[in-house]
Amino acid sequence: MQILACILPVVTFLCQPVLDAVQTCVGNLAQRFLDSLKNWADGLFGDRVGAAVEVPEPASEVVGAEEKLTEIRNHLEDDSVGIIGIHGMGGIGKTTILQMIINEFFERGRQCPFDLVVWVTVSQTVSIPDIQKQIADRLSLPLSDSSTDSEKKNARVLSEALSHKRFLMLLDDIWEAIDLQTQTKIGIPGPRTRRGSKSKIAFTTRLSQVCDHMGADKIVQVKSLDEAASWKLFCSKLRTKELVCTNPIIGQLAQQVVDKCGGLPLALITVGRAMANREDIQDWEYAVKALDHFPERLEGVDDHVLRCLKFSYDYLRNDNIRSALLFCAMYPEDAEINRKELIEHWIGEGLVDDENDAGEGSIDDARGAGQTLINKLRDACLLEPGTESSTVRMHDAVRDMALWLNRHPGHDKVDGFLVKDIFTTTNVVTVREHIKRIWVRSGDLEEEMFNPDESSNNRTLLLNNVIGLWPSILRTIASSMKGTLRVLNLSGSNLKVLPSEVGLMTELHYLNLSSTGIRLLPEKLGELIKLRQLLLNDMYYLQEIPRQAIAGLWSLQVLTMWGTVYDWEDDPRGHGCRQLEVGDLEAYLPRLEELHIQLGTPRALERFLTSHKLCRCTRGLCLAKLKRQGDRSQSEEPLYGEGGSLLRVFSAMGSSLKRLDLQGDDAHPWDGGLRISLDQLPLLEDLCLSSFKSEKMPEVVLVGSNINPGSSNVRLSTFTMRRCDGQKVLKLVGAFPCLQVFILRDCSTMEELVMDDDAVAADIGEGGTPDDTGLLDRHFPMLREIHLLSLPALKSMGGNRPLRLPASVSFKEIGCPELTRLPVDAAGVPKLKIVRGERKWGGRRGL
């Protein structure tokens, strides 16, 4: 083995939560209801199978599962065993045990018996294309999806790639048998199809018959925890262990709580965390009484386990936090929930008002309160981190509990919801008054869905990406929900006309019209006096915004128009209505705190730069020349004013910008080099340069920090340069302590990429400590991805010294035929994952 999977910093950071779930191993309650334990291994090895992974730190111990671990180890080392089935009830720890096996392989390094380990999350509905994609991502193979027989073609591609390797294929959470004997079905060569093959397939399932149908050579049954292991696991979650052990009354009560959890690890962890800081006898008595109302052994045991989870739910501090959790349950199973979107909806519903001055605080404070809610739910083991830092996940069992609550509107103060898509309707409840949220994910809408008598209590309506959203339906919605609706998301729908009745929904706090075909915003929009967030991103057809449509939005704090090409100049548009100008944003939006905007004319940019308020609240700015038909006067004015306007942008907005997109002006090619210093843009996180086409721009220089990266204030995390011609050199000078993604693509003349600078190194080497040069030698400490795509002239990358990059970095190079050398210090990056379009770089195998 020459390349093992590259996973040190990411998994090490996330390892502690894994350790908690690792102890949730065995049990035999809740056979029918809970899904298999989707612990942190799902996030690390399921949705991210294509990502470079690092050797995780070993778990300290697995409570009650040592015997099963030994049994599986023996099967994996036995050449006569090809397929191993691991089955047990949902939430019993099957995935955790498999994760421990993987950890052991990673720890063994070169002694690992497999060339490749692939983790595939199958879930309830088997999707052959999804399974193939996960395997292909791990192998960095492109797959076809353009024809009806693409599954068979992809199966042949995967089979060919895997047939030359000794692999361990791990299939997690199988609910129905998958044909592993027919190689052409998925593309996984069966261990029995090749003579002498030492490859293995292991899978987890809650159903024993799946093991039989899939021809498992060995079956491992995971059972519940015994009394001693249950007590040990429960106590490991308490911060008051000594009190439980020394106070005989609390100790007896705690033992009763453990007994009522029935040996189910997930219940033990959840209830244990709920009781983590409880020191009063009354709290423990309440816990026993709360769990004692239900039989210890029910015929179906579903309610018993779910009520254990509900106990943690009930212990949440207030109804807003409970409602926030139920909101998450509307997302599909195993969904990666975008934190930003989730918090925006929570703010719209008013769920953060208790933490944010009853909704009168700043939008940043509201987002902070939203993040606090997420943290509280995570602390209560009711939400999990997602595979990316920007997402969270909901454990299957916790989601089941939330759906169970939603099916029983008799529970006090539960905010019910209705989710519909083209295939199913989730949790249809008989009492419509219980429903406060509706989410139609796909399919055609019907006006009958929004009967005034049945929708009068609705607070949130999500119609994003639906078809059939006609003005008549929106009028019905406005009429039936005008007194209660606070969140309305119409993004991505086929809506082309926004009716004036939208002004009736005076309780709206959040309105998303992004990616719709709307050409005109009605003046009645201005009557939404409580609206705090208005999202108008990527509205390519938007031409008219009457001043009155904005003038009444006194409460508006967030206005996003990213990717929306609107002409901010005053002209005869609008059938006599005065159109919105740049100055109106300052005049009519007194509470505006966050603005994302695209400007396309030099005069609009000039007016914008004269407003201190607008510059101060701008978080995202895109400069792209507006092209008007038949208007030559505009095309004769350079957008950037020979570079002077750009310098003014940096000066005026440098302290507020988080996202900056600069696009070239074809009519006025840039003359001279382009130099951007991030010291002027300390908050900037995302920078994109595109469509600069000028032979008079020989190089682009991006200057990071020239000080110790550990004390740098440069926050840039993503840099993209694309579709630029004429430039030959791109330099990244100094330290970029937060840079995670670097993309350079479709630049036909780019010859050299410099990611180091001797002058800066010399300055630090002379004026700093001996360690400073080492820090500069790793001045991309967080870099995860490097993409070099379609760069036919690129000949060199790096600088005068070998780069030392993080061990987890993924390097993708396609369409760079002249680039023959990768100047990376092999000692500094021992597990660098490299993918080339024509061939693999380095020829080393990876785990």
Q: Tokens 């915004």 correspond to what residue?
A: 545
**Same domain as 337, residue 265:** no
On the CB side of 349, CA atoms within 13 Å amount to: 27
- Is residue 459 in a domain? no
CATH assignment at residue 175:
3.40.50.300
- Is residue 458 in a domain? no
**Same domain as 294, residue 352:** no
Residues 232-256 have a mean pLDDT of 87
Q: 380: helix, coil or strand?
A: coil
**Same domain as 552, residue 634:** yes
How many residues are present in the chain? Answer: 847
Token code pair at residue 493: 């729908």
Q: Which of 264, 299, 314 is the last residue of a domain?
A: 314
**Same domain as 604, residue 639:** yes
**Same domain as 652, residue 548:** yes
**Same domain as 746, residue 686:** yes
Percent above pLDDT 90 for the chain: 31
Q: How far is CA 237 from CA 17, 223, 715, in A?
A: 12, 21, 36
Q: How many domains is the chain partitioned into structurally?
A: 5
266-305: per-residue pLDDT in tens? 778 777 887 888 888 888 888 877 665 543 332 223 455 6
Q: Per-residue pLDDT for 709 more than 60?
A: no
Query: Exposed, middle or buried by CB within 10 Å (0-12, 13-18, 19+), for 500?
Result: middle
SS3 content of the chain, % helix, strand, coil (to 5): 35, 15, 45
Q: Which of 597, 631, 665 is the last residue of a domain?
A: 665
> Where do the DSSP E strands lie in 382-429?
384-385, 391-393, 416-420, 425-426
**Same domain as 67, residue 196:** yes
Range from 12-16, 42-46, 78-82, 382-386 carrying the lowest mean pLDDT: 42-46
Give 699's contacts (C-beta < 8 A, 6+ positions apart). Answer: 673, 674, 727, 728, 729, 730, 731
How does residue 572 score in pLDDT terms, banded at 50, 70 and 90?
low
Q: What's the maximum distance between 2 C-alpha atoms anywhere in the chain?
A: 88
**Same domain as 816, residue 733:** yes
**Same domain as 326, residue 307:** no
- Is residue 141 in a domain? yes
- Is residue 610 in a domain? yes
Q: Per-residue pLDDT for 38 more than 50?
A: no
Q: Which of 314, 336, 362 is the last residue of a domain?
A: 314
Q: Per-residue pLDDT for 841 more than 60?
A: no
Q: What is the pLDDT of residue 272?
A: 81
Rounded CA gap, 574 and 567, in Å? 12
The continuous run of DSSP H or E covering 339 comes out as helix 339-349
Token code pair at residue 695: 């032979």
Instruction: Give me the sheet containing 384-385, strands edge to edge.
Output: 337-338, 391-393, 384-385
Please check whether residue 54 is in contact with residue 189, taking contact to mean a CB–CB distance below 8 angstroms. no
294-342: per-residue pLDDT in tens? 433 322 234 556 766 777 788 788 889 999 999 999 998 778 999 999 9
**Same domain as 657, residue 678:** no
- Cross-strand bridge partners of residue 357: none
**Same domain as 805, residue 763:** yes
Q: Per-residue pLDDT for 517 more than 90?
A: yes
Rounded CA gap, 705 and 684, in Å? 13
Query: Which of 582, 584, 618 has its CA nearest to residue 600?
Result: 582
The DSSP letter of residue 485 is -
Q: 282: helix, coil or strand?
A: helix
Range from 44-48, 464-468, 620-624, 640-644 carrying the lowest mean pLDDT: 44-48
- Is residue 120 in a domain? yes
- Is residue 69 in a domain? yes
CATH assignment at residue 526:
3.80.10
Rounded CA gap, 197 and 191, in Å? 6
- Is residue 1 in a domain? no
Range from 108-117, 385-394, 556-565, 821-830 carrying the lowest mean pLDDT: 821-830
Q: What is the pLDDT of residue 794?
A: 94
DSSP states of 532-573 as a string?
Answer: -EEE-TT-TT--B-BTHHHHT-TT--EEE-TT-----S--S-
- Cross-strand bridge partners of residue 699: 729
* Amino acid residing at 37: L
- Is residue 201 in a domain? yes
Average pLDDT, the chain: 78
**Same domain as 285, residue 168:** no
Q: In whole angstroms, what separates CA 316 from the centre of its chain? A: 25
56-74: per-residue pLDDT in tens? 333 445 677 788 888 998 9
> Where do the DSSP E strands lie in 345-432?
384-385, 391-393, 416-420, 425-426
- Cross-strand bridge partners of residue 705: 735
Rounded CA gap, 119 and 98, in Å? 10
Q: What is the pLDDT of residue 714?
A: 87
Residues 685-691 have a mean pLDDT of 96
Tell me the residue range of the domain where 207 lies: 9-221
Strands 659-663, 674-677: parallel, antiparallel or unpaired by DSSP?
unpaired
Query: Which of 366, 382, 266 has its CA nearest to residue 327?
Result: 382
Whole-angstrom Cα Rg for the chain? 29
Range from 385-394, 440-449, 823-832 carrying the lowest mean pLDDT: 823-832
